[in-house]
Structure 1
Amino acid sequence: MTVSACSRKSVHPGEAPGPDLEEVDGTWHVRDAAMVREVLRSKDGTTQAGFTSESVSTSRLRQPILFADGEEHRTQRSRIARFFAPRVVSDRYRDMMGQRVDSLLSAAGREITLDDLAMEYSVSVAAEVIGLTNSSTAGLSRRLENLFDQPGYDHTTSGGGRSRLTRVLARLTGASPLIPFYLFDVRPAVRARRRTPSEDVITHLIGEGYKGVEIMIECLTYGAAGMVTTREFICMATWHFLGAPALRQRYLVAGEKERLAILGEILRLEPVVGHLYRRTTRDLQVGGRVIPAGALMDLHVRDANADEDVVGESPLELCPGRDIATGYGPEVISFGDGAHKCPGNALAIQETDILMQRLLAMDLTVVSEPTMTWDDLITGYRLRNFRLIVGPQAATHE
């Protein structure tokens, strides 16, 4: 299939094209796909430097999986892999996803605010896998939004580019929502699983001897990856499909393999996380140059995903059916690579596919296209107020 649709929508106003590899004010910027992958796959050559990992102290606690590196990280990943394996996702959660979509679309009626629906859906799915099922989905969604509503953050500057006052405020605004999240979501789930273990991440963490606060931190990690980012991708994919009737029609008649490849191409073009950050632990050779130990590396995912050596011509156009270079998936670097590659990639794509099949089959009119803003913490886009009307008279809705 070679249906050509529209161009990239997530163009960050502060980004400009640059060389494949350059050092600017002590930060090494990498835009070449092969080099980005080489850095991410460098065993024990770098450590996590994104997602505020270098400014959050967890010295008295176990390192959360998002921040851990080396053997500790590999051990954690191997032990939770069974919850996110593609076959497990399909066998265990497919029916549940379909039921959630049907319920949410039925409850929405004719007027759908897609970003709200996508948040409730992605939260309910991730909560099932994690084990956060002893509180209401609506309440969990609200508390997670409060947790991730943080001041701006610049990974390339000391203190994240925040003033002393802003850092204090960030700690307060970040810490205060943790209390209701722990009391209303995490603690009830932990207590329930101590009584009756289940096949989910929280039960696994209890078995590993994690403390309550350590379980909460891990839940936040999976919450960010499995809920917030999937919400944005659902909105972005829908935006593309509704703007490209031929692509939408092709998707609706395609088999699963082709549908997932189409979604992968959308994600390649519109990665939710635009940059990944790593800190070198030793001198690292990249692209014929030596990156010194202790250097911060800014890996440009959007640029890597548009590398013509990997994706071919017209890299900023949505073109399902591309001949992607060997060794890359259709999404290229959108889920990361190496030790920290997103473990929930199969879950995110499948839950998006199940929603898309049902949503795109409906008679939809766009009332308002989404407003795009940017999240500095994950260097990704936010799409809000994406309003749709369902029904044959939708075009006359005022």
Structure 2
Amino acid sequence: MTQQTRCPVPHGARKTSRGDDASSPAVELIGDTWHVRGHDAVRQVLRSAEVTQAGFAAETVRRSQPRARRPVLYNDGPEHRDQRRKIARYFAPATVGKKYRELMEERADALVADIAARGRVDLRPVTMRYSVDVASQVVGLTNSDRDAMAKRLEAFFDSTGLPPIESGGPAGRFGIIVSALRNVRTMAPLMRFNRRDVKPAIAARRTHPQQDVISHLIESGYSDEEILIECVTYGAAGMVTTREFISMATWHLLQNDSVRAQYLAGDQAERYRILHEVLRLEPVVGHLYRRTRTTVELDDGTRIPAGSLVDLYIRGGNADEQAVGTDPLSLCPHRELADGVREEALSFGDGSHRCPGNAIAIQESDVFLTRLLALPVRLASSPRIEWDELISGYSVRDIVVEVAR
């Protein structure tokens, strides 16, 4: 890698620092858990065929539903590869641009026009509605009122007081999925989503299949309950995380006039470069977890024994100077990266579980932000951060914007 000088124009620092930004030591054993922080080491573990998914409470899911077909997020091996191969066509960049861009533009135009008319809004419900509008088309949740569905999903993922799976059990949005798996017939918010949104979509597609995920699941023989859990998983992975990223990108761009101007003046490649750099700096999911099936030997000679739990620091890996250059906790869209390092670094994961919706997430974020930032809009107050402890993921709260009159 060419030695990079310091970023010539400071565009702001990471807003979500919480003590897990360090990339060294690259690998460390603490108690029974291996903590992996260096970019290349994290990537090597993620790409290894000798590890299984242990994040998002996957091991609890396997214990609680041993005979159920596992959602794609929790699966591994040949079955997982087959699942990913079959759904890949719904998330391919060419498909996203051809099939969903017009919808993104239409919904972004309407929502931003409403912001302009109202003058002052909290972006959180707006970006949730927008993310639901887009993701619902991909998944196939199109046979109910999307405004009402967005509110139901918001209530579901913001639910509190759900019974834990076990002492010290999972919390946060992915923990709720696990609770749903154990309480699928008793949790009221989930049942409302199932009754009013999922079941009508399933019924419609049993008669008239579409090019969407639910139609694929029906064709593959999934039960209604299994389809429900897949819809919840896509809701967390596709709707909620994109909402958080749009909010975070808005926060950064509205606090830096120079990078906002650079974004609005740039072509698509330049805008995507800026968004990827925001995502590198502020990964929505801060930690991933894997369990080793056999001994995994890293390039530095470290041998991680079979059966070990591995905590992968996405935030640390994204701030590794050996991979992303100097000033790793600063926003610098034109930073020099080491060979093979993506612009967003590890923020979409890597290996077999790399986020399949990366192309759609960046495109829908860009479509919305180009319209919002073209308004004479500013932050009305400082947003605040809340945390999903299970994945070290952030939620941006109180992100209120106002339009100059």
**TM-score of the superposition, structure 1-length normalised?**
0.91
Please name the residue that 1:368 is paired with.
381
Q: Does 1:285 align with 2:261?
A: no
Alpha-carbon distance between aligned partners in 2 of 1:261 and 1:4, rounded to the nearest angstrom: 16
The one-letter amino acid of 1:223's match is G
SS at structure 1 position matched to 2:58: coil
2:205 is aligned, of 193, 197, 210, to 193
Residue by residue over 1:214-235, the C-alpha shift from the partner in whole angstroms, topping out at 9 and shown as x without a partner, is 1111111111111000011001
Please name the residue that 1:206 is paired with.
218
Instruction: Please tell me whether the aligned partners of residues 269 and 317 of structure 1 are also in contact (alpha carbons under 8 angstroms).
Output: yes
Please name the residue that 2:243 is paired with.
231
1:251 is aligned, of 263, 266, 271, to 263
Alpha-carbon distance between aligned partners in 2 of 1:152 and 1:274, rounded to the nearest angstrom: 24
SS at structure 2 position matched to 1:66: helix
Please name the residue that 2:149 is paired with.
140
**Structure 1 residues 117, 379: closer, same or farther in 2, change over 3 A?**
same
Deviation at 1:172, TM superposition (A): 5.5
Deviation at 1:368, TM superposition (A): 1.8
Gaps of 5+ in 1: 393-398
Residue by residue over 1:206-255, the C-alpha shift from the partner in whole angstroms, topping out at 9 and shown as x without a partner, is 11111111111111111111100001100110100011100000100100
Deviation at 1:356, TM superposition (A): 0.8
Deviation at 1:159, TM superposition (A): 4.5
Q: Does 1:102 align with 2:115?
A: no
Alpha-carbon distance between aligned partners in 2 of 1:15 and 1:151, rounded to the nearest angstrom: 28
Structure 1 segments of 4+ aligned residues over 4 angstroms from their partners: 13-18, 150-153, 166-174
Deviation at 1:369, TM superposition (A): 2.1
**Structure 1 residues 71, 169: closer, same or farther in 2, change over 3 A?**
closer
The one-letter amino acid of 2:252's match is H
SS at structure 2 position matched to 1:12: coil
Deviation at 1:16, TM superposition (A): 6.4
Deviation at 1:169, TM superposition (A): 8.4
Q: Does 1:85 align with 2:92?
A: yes
Gaps of 5+ in 2: 1-6
Deviation at 1:135, TM superposition (A): 1.5
The one-letter amino acid of 1:194's match is R
SS at structure 1 position matched to 2:59: coil
The one-letter amino acid of 2:303's match is V
Please name the residue that 2:28 is paired with.
22
Percent identity reads: 50
After superposition, residues 1-398 of structure 1 pair within 5 angstroms as 3-12=9-18, 18-43=24-49, 45-56=50-61, 57-108=64-115, 109=117, 110-149=119-158, 159=166, 161-162=168-169, 175-286=187-298, 287-392=300-405
Deviation at 1:105, TM superposition (A): 1.9
Deviation at 1:70, TM superposition (A): 0.5
**Structure 1 residues 159, 324: closer, same or farther in 2, change over 3 A?**
farther
Residue by residue over 1:171-222, the C-alpha shift from the partner in whole angstroms, topping out at 9 and shown as x without a partner, is 5599332211111111000111112111111111111111111111111111
Deviation at 1:150, TM superposition (A): 5.7
Alpha-carbon distance between aligned partners in 1 of 2:8 and 2:82, rounded to the nearest angstrom: 41
**Structure 1 residues 232, 131: closer, same or farther in 2, change over 3 A?**
same
Deviation at 1:323, TM superposition (A): 1.4
- Higher deviation after alignment, 282-291 or 205-214: 282-291
Residue by residue over 1:49-81, the C-alpha shift from the partner in whole angstroms, topping out at 9 and shown as x without a partner, is 111111122323211100000000000000000
Give aligned pairs, total: 385
Residue by residue over 1:14-50, the C-alpha shift from the partner in whole angstroms, topping out at 9 and shown as x without a partner, is 776751111111011000000001000001x111111
**TM-score of the superposition, structure 2-length normalised?**
0.90
Alpha-carbon distance between aligned partners in 1 of 2:23 and 2:323, rounded to the nearest angstrom: 17
Alpha-carbon distance between aligned partners in 2 of 1:304 and 1:15, rounded to the nearest angstrom: 8
